[in-house]
Amino acid sequence: MVNFHLGFFALTTFIVLVCGASKNLPILSFDEGYSQLFGDDNLMVVKDGKSVHLTLDERTGSGFVSQDIYSQGFFSASIKLPADYTAGVVVAFYMSNGDMFQKNHDEVDFEFLGNIRGKDWRMQTNIYGNGSTNAGREERYGLWFDPSEDFHQYSILWTENQIIFYVDNVPIREFKRTATMGGDFPSKPMSLYATIWDGSDWATNGGKFRINYKYAPYIAKFSDLVLHGCAVDPTEQATKCDIAPKHDSIPTGITPEQRIRMQNFRKKHMQYSYCYDRARYTVPPAECVLDAKEAEGLRAFDPVTFQGVHRHRGKRHHRSRSSSSSQGEASST
C-alpha cells in the first residue's frame, strides 16, 4: 500500500529549493519511508531510526530504496563519505525506475567517486530519460570541502519542467526541459535509492586505481532523509497531489544572489560537462545553454576534451538497475 501520509504538493508552483537548513525540512525516519535494498547486515539503522550507515566490504555493498514511487518532488539526504584510500568506491544517491521500465527507464543521479589517498572525492550528476543512456548528460565536479570530514546536504528537485541539484542548499545544476528533448526528460514515476558499491572497473581514472580492501570497511553515513513529493499508486500509476500544504523551508523561486552562487560554483568546481565535450559532440545537444565562463574554466582544466582534439576514450560503463539487489549498481557512464 502506498503511504499517502507523505507531504504532497503542487509541483507546478515550484521553481527551485535553495533556502532553509535541513533540520527544517520534513525529515522521515528510515522505517517511515525506506526499505533495505541489499547488503544484509551491511546496512545499519542508527540514531533513533533517522540515520543509516551503508557499508562496503569484500563480501558485498549495501543500499536502501524508498517504499513509495514518486511522480516529481524534493528528495534530500545529509551524507558523510568514507575517508582515506577510497579508489574504486562509488556512493550513489539517485532516483530511478529501472525495475519497472527496463528498456526505457528514467534516472536522476548524484554519484560520488572515491580516489587514492591525498586526492579528493569527485561528484557526478547524471540525467537519463526514456532509456537515453547512450546520449549521456553527465557533469562532474570537485567540491569546496572534504565530504568525508562531516555531513553535507545533497538534494534533488524534480518538477514537470526542470531538475535542480543542490549541495548544502546551493544549486549546482539546473536542467530544463525543452521541446527538442522529447521523452529524454525524466517523466515516469521513480523510486529514491542510496547505495555503496565496488566500481573498480571505471570509477577512478577509468579503472586504473581499484578498491584495496585492506582499507575496508568503507562506510557511507546518511541522515536527514527527506521524501517530499507526489506518491504514486504503482497499480494505477495515479498520483495524489490535490492537497498542497505549504512548507516553510521550501521557497518558490531562485534569487539573483542564489543564481550567482550557482554560477560561481560551476566556474570554479565543474570539471566535466557533456555540453562542452567537443570530442564527444561536434554539435552540443539542443538543450545545452553554453556559458563563456564555464567553457573557459573547462578548457583550463582539460584542453584536449574541451577544445575538440580527439583522443582515445576509455570503455563506457553502463550499469543495469535489474542487478541492483545483488551488486548495488546504479546506471552511469
Q: Which residues are catalytic?
A: 107, 111
Q: Give the separation between CA 310 and CA 63, rounded to whole angstroms.
A: 38
Torsion of CA 88, 302, 128, 7, to 10 degrees: 80
User: What would the grid cell of residue 313 be?
Assistant: 576514450
Q: Give the separation between CA 18 and CA 28, rounded to whole angstroms.
A: 20
Q: Give the separation between CA 71 and CA 188, rounded to whole angstroms.
A: 7
- Chain centroid to CA 311: 28
